[in-house]
Amino acid sequence: MEIQVNGSIEIDAPRETVIARTHTTDVEVVRSFDPRVISIETNDVPENVVGQVATVTAEVTGRRAVITITTVDVRLPEYIVERNEGSGPVHVTRSDYTELPGGRTRVTMTTTFFVPWWNPILAALVKPVGARSIRDSLEKVKQLVES
């Protein structure tokens, strides 16, 4: 079963700045966005290129979680699509970057969660938790870029 959630936010920065500050595998930059991150390992594919795989180890609710993020589609500066596997249900997130007047950028995130049909409890939780996660992520992006 597919469950989709989305959200958007406007940021006081040019599109290229938003992308550069948020799509990186530099562990120190990522930690400023998400302090739970312990390490990031990548394959030999450059950042923001289809086929790049980042294995992220993070401390989540007192336990180590390993999340594999694979870049599956890119047309920057317009959008990037990443598949996430590991902690929680598999999901694909598309991040769109729209230039706005005055050097501003609108970031829209759309995440599709793939939930097993036989797990109705997970299905019931994914939409509200996913929506909150997107809101929180977008707020963190705004704070990171505008600081």
* pTM of the predicted model over 0.85: yes
Name the band, by pLDDT with cuts 50, 70 and 90, for residue 9: very high
The reported pLDDT for the residue numbered 132 is: 94
Q: What is the mean pLDDT of the segment spanning 102-112?
A: 98
Spatial CB neighbours of 92, under 8 Å, sequence gap ≥ 6: 72, 81, 82, 83, 84, 111, 112, 114
What structural domains and CATH numbers belong to the chain?
2-146 (3.30.530.20)
Average pLDDT taken over every residue of the chain = 94
SS (H, E, C) the chain: CEEEEEEEEEECCCHHHHHHHHCCCCHHHHHHHCCCEEEEEECCCCCCCCCCEEEEEEEECCEEEEEEEEEEEEECCCEEEEEEECCCCEEEEEEEEEEEHHHEEEEEEEEEEECCCCCHHHHHHHHHHHHHHHHHHHHHHHHHHHC
Question: Is pLDDT above 90 for 69?
Answer: yes
